[in-house]
Structure 1
Amino acid sequence: MERLSEENCLSIFNCMAFYNRDKDGVLEAIGEEISKKCKGLPLAAKTLGSLMRYKKTRQEWQEVLNNKIWDLEEVEQQVFQPLLLSYFDLAPAVKRCLLYCVIFPKDHLIYKDHLIELWMSQDYLYSKGNTEKEIIGQRFFDNLAMRSFFQDFEKYSDGNIRRCKMHDIVHDFLQYLTQHECFTMDVKGGNNTIKPLGDKIRHLTLMLAPEGPLSCVSFSSCDLRTLATFDSEFNVVDSTLISQLKHLRTLNLSGNCIEVLPEEIGELVHLRFIDLSYNHDLKKLTNGVCNLYNLQTLRLFGCRKLESLPQSMGKLINLKYLYLWGCDQLKYLPKGIGRLTNLRRLDRCPVGGGKDDDEAFKLGDLRNLDQLQGGLEIEIDGDVKVVAGEGEKASPLGNKQLSKLYLVIKNREDEEGRKRSGSSAETLNFLRPHPNLESLYIRGHDESTAPNWIMSLNNLRFLTLEYWNECEVLPHLGRLSSLESLTIRHMKGVKKVGVEFLGIEKETSSTSSCITLFPKLKILCLYFMTAWEEWKGVEEWKEEDSHVTIMPCLSSLEIHFCSRLKTLPDFLQKTPLRTLGISHCGNLARGCQKGKGKEWPKISHIPNITVFPEYFDSDDKGEGIIEADDAVELTEWPSTSGGRVKA
C-alpha cells in the first residue's frame, strides 16, 4: 500500500477533523501526534480525521491519542487500529448495521435505499416515537458516511447520496470482526453444492456459482439469517436447500438464471426481504411467495420475461417495497395489490393490459395506497377509461407524498384505439398529483392541451414532455416558479413556439408590475421537433415598456434534430447562458456562424457553443456550411461513415 509523507497525512487528517469548525492550536498539536499513528496510510488519516470531527474537547482528543489500541502488536491490528477506534465510537445499533455490510463483495456498488431495507429485514432499526425506521436508517447511513466507512459517493441532483462503495481495507476490517458470523464462499468451478457451515454462521454470501442447480449438503448445524449470491448463474434452486432455511430473513438471488422458484419458499415465514432482480428467464412468481406474511421488500428489477404476479398478493399485508422497474412483459397488476395499505414504494404500476378486467388493478385502486412515496411510473396500456363517477372523486394520487411521477400512455396510435381507450386528457386530469411533486414525465398524450393541474405544481423542478402527437402549441409553462430543468421531445405537430410558451398573455405588455418567467430554469432541452420552424421571443415589445424578465438562471440550452428551425428568440441574449449545443439542425446551424449568421448576436455572449454543422437534410446542398475556423468550439463528432470529423 502506498504511504504518504507525514505532512500529506496530517493535511488529510486536518481536512476531515476540522471540517466546518475553527482550528484550535491545542487540538492541532494533539492531532499532529494522532496523525503520526496513521503510518502514512490515506484511509487511516481520513478515518481518524472523521472520528475526531465528533470530539470537541482536549480531553477527548487526548483519550484517542493515549488509547491502548495503539499498543496492539498484531500485523492486522496495525492496519485496523484507526478503524477500530472509529468503530468503538459508534453506538451499538450503528455497529450492527456497519458489520452487516460485509455481505457485499469487495468493490460492490451499495445503494443506500437497498442497504436500509436490508438493515430493516434484520430488525437492526428501531423506531423512536414517531420517527420511522427508514429515517433512522438514513441517519445511520449518514453517520457511517461521515466517518469515512463509505467512499466513491454518487448523488442525486438534490445532493442526497444514491450509492457508494466501501474501501477494500474497510471490507477486510469488517471480515476480521465478523469472521465467526459471516462467511463468503467461492463455489466457482464446483458443483454448486454448499459445504457444511459452522454452527455460528448467520450470514452467507455465495460467489460465482456457475449454471446449474443450487443445492446443499446440510444446513442443519447452522441458523442462517441471510443468503446472498453475487456474480452467479445458477438456474434451479433445490427445494431441499429452501427447506433448511427456516429462520432466513434475507434472500438475495438476483442476477442468476432462475426460471421457477420452488413452492417451498412459502415455508420461510420469517423472510422479510427477497431480491430476484435480473433473473431474465423468470416468467411467473410462485404462489408460495404470498404465504410470506412478514415480507417487507420484494425486488423484481429487470425480470424482463415476468408476465404476471400471483392473484393472492393481497395477503402480503406487511409489504412496504415492491420494485417492478424493467418488467416490461408485466402488463397489469393483480387486484390484491390494492389491499397492501402499508406499501411505501411501488416504482411501476402497469394498468389496462389485463385479460380479466375484474382481476386487474385499476387506476382508482391507487387511492387505497395512501402511504406511497418516492417515485412512481404509471403505464397505461390499452383500454383504460375513467369509470363513470370516478372522475368526481378525489384524485387517487392527491394524498400521495410522491416526489417523482412518470405517466406513460401506450397503444393509442390509431383513431379507433383512441376511441376505445377514451381521452388521455380525461385520464391525466384524473391522476392529479400532490402539489409537492418535484419531477414529472408525461409520454404519449394524444390531446392538444396539457393536464389541467400542471400549472398548480409550484414545487416542480424537473419536467419532461414527449410524444404529444396532437399538440400544436406548447403548454404555458413559464409560470412554474420552481422549474429548473425542462425537456421537450417528439412534438411533431408544433410549428411555432411563441410567447404563449412563456406564459405571457396579450394584456401582459401593458401591465406595470414586474414579471419573471421561468424564474429558476437552468436547463432547457428541445429534441426531435421535426415540424418546428419558428421560435419567437418578445421583439415586438419596446424594452422600456417591458417589465418582463425571462429565464434569468438559464445556463444550458440544447437543440437537436429540429431540422426546420431557423431562428432563436431575442431574449436569449439577455440570459446568463454558459452552454449551447446544436446538432442535426442545418438551417439553425447556418444562422449561428460566428460573426456571420443572423442569429450570432443572440448567442455571441455564450462561452461554450458547440454546433455540428455537418448534419443537414438529404436535399441540403451544403451552402453556407460553417467552416472549422468559424466554429466556436472545435469538437470531434462521429461521422455517418464511421470516422471522425471536426465541427
Structure 2
Amino acid sequence: MRSLLSGETDSLKCMPIGILRLTNLRRFDKFVVGGEGPGNASYFGDAMRLEFAKMKNLLLSKLSFDGEDRKVNDEDEQLLEALHPPPSLEELGILYYRGSIFPNSLISLTNLRTLKIRWGKNCEHLPALGKLQSLEKLTISDLRRVKTVGNEFLELEGSTDYDPSPSSSSSSSSSVTAFPKFKSLFIWKMSELVGWDYRITRKDNNSIMPRLSFMDIGNCPNMKKLPNYLLQTTTMQRLKIRNCPLLQERDGEGEDWRKISHIPHLRGI
C-alpha cells in the first residue's frame, strides 16, 4: 500500500498501533494522534511504540491531534516528540496541537518542503524552522497566543540582542542564511500577532528568506509592522494583505506601504 487517504474521516479518534507497519506508505493524509484520553498510562507509551520514524518512504503526512479537551497540554508536546516524523517527509501538516511549544525534532526534517500548522490554541511561539534548508512553503493559522515572531523562529546561530556599535558589525565576516529556499508564506487568523521583532548580531552578514516571492497575510487585526527583510527584498512578486487594518492604513501605522514601492516585480497588494 502506497497511500492511505483518511482525510475526510471527521469522527476518527485514533489510529491502530499496527498501522505503522505499513512501511511502504508514501502518503498519509490524516494521522490522528491521541484518542486514549488523559491519565491513561498507555497514552504516551503507545505513541512511542508507533515507531513513526521507521516509515522511511513517507513523503506526506497530516498529524491531527484528537479534538477532546485535555487539562494537561504538555501531553501533546510529549506525543509529537515521541512520534518523531521520519526525515523523508516532504510535506507535513500539524492540526489541533495544544502544546505551548514545538519539539526540536521538527528541525530534523531535512527534506521538508511544505509545512502547515493550524488551530493551535495554546502555542505561544512558532517552531524554530530557520535551519530547514529545503523548506519552501509555510502556512500558519489560528495560533491564538503568538504575539511576536522573533529570533527563535529564525534559528540563526549567534543571534542575540542587536548591538549597533561599529565594532559589533565588523566583528565577524561569516554569513548565515535562514530559510534559504523559502518562497511562500501564508499567515491567517493570528488574532494576537503584532509583528516581527528580530534582534540579530552581525546584521549585515545575515540573510533571511532571500528567495521569498509570495506572502499572504489575512485576519491579523493587531499586526502593525512588516519585517524589515521584506521591505528590503527584490524577489517579492505577490503580496496580499486582507483584513489587517493596521497594515492596510496608508498613513501612520501603515507607513510600510511606502517602503515597498521599490520592489521591481510586485504585481499587487
TM-score norm. by structure 2 comes to 0.82
Cα distance in 2 for partners of 1:603, 1:427 equals 42
Q: Is the 8 A contact 2:182 2:209 kept in 1?
A: yes
1:453 alignment partner, SS class: helix
Relative to structure 1, the CA distance from residue 321 to residue 529 in structure 2 (aligned partners, 3 Å threshold; closer, same or farther) is closer
> How many Å apart are 1:542 and its aligned residue?
6.7
SS of corresponding position for 1:379: strand
Instruction: Pick from 132, 155, 164 the counterpart of residue 480 of structure 1.
Output: 132
**Offset of residue 597 of structure 1:** 4.2
**Deviation at residue 471 of structure 1 after TM alignment:** 1.2
- Is the 8 Å Cα contact of residues 4 and 28 (structure 2) preserved in structure 1? no
Give the conservation status (yes or no) of the 8 Å contact 1:566–1:587. Answer: yes
Partner Cα distance (2:230, 2:132) in 1: 19
Residue 605 (structure 1) aligns with: 262
Distance 2:7 2:67 in 1: 19
Structure possessing the higher radius of gyration over alpha carbons: 1
Q: Where in structure 2 are there 5+ consecutive unaligned residues?
A: 163-170
Distance 1:596 1:535 in 2: 14
1:593-632 map, 5 Å = 593=250, 597-606=254-263, 607-610=266-269
Name the counterpart of 1:502. Answer: 154
Matches within 5 A, 1:379-458: 379-380=32-33, 382-384=35-37, 387=43, 389-390=45-46, 395-413=51-69, 417-419=70-72, 423-458=75-110
Query: How far off is 1:323 after superposition?
Result: 4.3
User: Residue deviations 1:98-146, cap 9 Å, x none?
Assistant: xxxxxxxxxxxxxxxxxxxxxxxxxxxxxxxxxxxxxxxxxxxxxxxxx
Aligned counterpart for 1:561 among listed residues 205, 210, 219: 219
Q: Determine if contact 1:383/1:422 at 8 Å carries over to the other structure.
A: no
Contact in 2 for aligned 1:380/1:409 (Cα 8 Å): yes
Deviation at 1:328, TM superposition (A): 3.0
Contact 1:439–1:460, Cα closer than 8 Å, also in 2: yes
Does 2:182 match 1:521? yes
Relative to structure 1, the CA distance from residue 507 to residue 422 in structure 2 (aligned partners, 3 Å threshold; closer, same or farther) is: closer
| SS at 1:565 equivalent | coil
**Which has the higher relative contact order, 1 or 2, with Cα contacts under 8 A spaced 6 or more apart?**
2
Q: How does 1:281-430 map to 2 (within 5 A)?
A: 323-329=5-11, 331=12, 350-351=13-14, 362=16, 364-380=17-33, 382-384=35-37, 387=43, 389-390=45-46, 395-413=51-69, 417-419=70-72, 423-430=75-82
What stretches of structure 1 of length at least 5 have no aligned partner? 1-318, 332-349, 352-360, 611-647
Aligned residues: 254
> Deviation per CA, 1:552-579, whole angstroms, max 9, x where unpaired?
1100111100011111111112321111
What is the percentage of aligned positions where both structures have the same residue? 33
The answer to whether 1:588 aligns with 2:247 is yes
Q: What are the superposed Cα offsets for residues 195-218 of structure 1, whole Å, 9 maximum, x if unpaired?
A: xxxxxxxxxxxxxxxxxxxxxxxx
Residues 141 and 189 of structure 2 are in contact (CA less than 8 Å); yes or no, is this contact kept in structure 1?
Answer: yes
Distance 1:320 1:405 in 2: 12
Tell me the amino acid that sits aligned with residue 604 of structure 1: S
Secondary structure, counterpart of 1:587 in structure 2: helix
Counterpart position of 1:50: none
Q: Distance in 2 between matches of 1:473 and 1:372?
A: 32
RMSD of aligned C-alpha atoms?
Answer: 2.9
| CA distance in 1: counterparts of 2:202 and 2:56, whole angstroms | 46
Residue 383 of structure 1: SS of its match in structure 2?
Answer: coil
Among 173, 179, 196, the alignment partner of 1:512 is 173
The one-letter amino acid of 2:223's match is L
Distance, in Å, in 2 between the alignment partners of 1:442 and 1:466 is 6
Residue 514 of structure 1 and its aligned partner are, at CA, apart by: 1.0
CA contact (8 A) 1:376 1:406 kept: yes
**Equivalent of 1:489 in 134, 141, 146:** 141
Q: Secondary structure at the match of 1:588?
A: helix
Q: What is the Cα deviation at residue 501 of structure 1? A: 1.5
Distance 2:187 2:156 in 1: 20
Q: Which amino acid aligns with 1:608?
A: R
Aligned partner of 2:210 in structure 1 is: 552
Quote the offset at 1:325 in angstroms.
Answer: 3.8
The aligned amino acid for 1:483 is L
1:48-63 alignment, distance < 5 Å: none
Post-superposition CA distance 1:176-230 (Å, at most 9, x none): xxxxxxxxxxxxxxxxxxxxxxxxxxxxxxxxxxxxxxxxxxxxxxxxxxxxxxx
Q: Kindly state the Cα deviation for residue 594 of structure 1 after the two structures are TM-superposed.
A: 8.4
Equivalent residues in 2 for 1:569-580 (5 A)? 569-575=227-233, 576-580=235-239
User: Closer, same or farther in 2 for the Cα pair 1:447/1:434, shift >3 Å?
Assistant: same
Q: Secondary structure at the match of 2:81?
A: helix
Tell me how far 1:429 sits from its aligned partner.
Answer: 1.5
